[in-house]
Structure 1
Amino acid sequence: MPSRIGPVLGRSSYIDDIAHGAKTWDQLCEDLDTLLYRLRYWHLSVRLPKSEFGKRSIPYLSHENSAEGIRATPKVVKGVMDLPFPKSHKGVLSFLGSLNYYHKFIEELWWQQSSNNFQKTRYVRDETSLELMNHSYCSKGKSLRRQC
């Protein structure tokens, strides 16, 4: 059995969408050959009209992948920046989940959200009168009003 039967491209993953880059064109061609060999081995097909090869930048799962790295698309960034301030416990969880997922793509997001939303109101009440204090903490446990 050939040595190409190990994990593809150095990782094991569920195949649904595949995106891969390489530092050189030769490395990309070699990796693509390995990947296509593996797909043939397992009798999996690739839809050619939906496939793109050798591009410098590709849209992938609401992100733009390129040699410079992964970026959120401008539409997604605008959507996150325009999120309304939550008015319920469920809304706070959704809001924080969105910020947690996209924070690495938006520079100084915690400061922008702090100044835009947290300083406007002292308390937010939801339907059950649960008070959510206007005090949030960054990952280091310090107040957003202080630098983390």
Structure 2
Amino acid sequence: MDDVLITGVTAEQHNQRLEEVFKRIQDKGLKASKEKIILGVTEIVYLVHQINGIEVKPLDKNLKNILNINQPSNKAEVQSFMGMINYYHRFVVNFEKIAAP
């Protein structure tokens, strides 16, 4: 992955962290794509999650897709389903026990 998320409790803290990250990128000889930089947002979609200053949650559209999927009927479909829901395992209590069978 090549994305970097930078947060801060205050704008000053955020800006200080932002400067430090850009300095490290430059010191390591890396580059940041100006076209991909997004500044000043309080909420973002990242790796199939909605992230804001309060919580990280699954995307509603993905949850709807999971809830509406047909029951898997063969190994390939089970593997596909498990791959899809694995992104959200942290939101399911005892996911490992449920998914093990």
Cα deviations by residue, 1:47-81 (Å, 9 ceiling, x for unpaired)? 22211122101122222211112122222111111
More helix, by proportion: 2
| RMSD, aligned α-carbons | 2.5
Structure 2 residue 43 is matched with structure 1 residue 53:
no
Unaligned runs of 5+ in 2: none
CA contact (8 A) 1:19 1:60 kept: no
Report 1 or 2 for greater relative contact order, CA contacts < 8 Å, sequence distance ≥ 6. Answer: 1
Q: Please, which runs of 5 or more residues in structure 1 have no aligned partner?
A: 1-13, 111-136, 142-148
Provide the secondary structure at the position in 2 that maps to 1:22: coil
Q: Secondary structure at the match of 2:3?
A: coil
Once the two structures are superposed, the pairs formed by residues 30-69 of structure 1 within 5 Å of their partners are 30-69=16-55
**Residues in 2 aligned to 1:62 and 1:99: alpha-carbon distance in whole angstroms:** 11
Task: Tell me the percent identity.
Answer: 26
TM-score, normalising length from structure 1? 0.56
Count of matched residue pairs: 98
Q: Using structure 2 for the length normalisation, give the TM-score.
A: 0.77
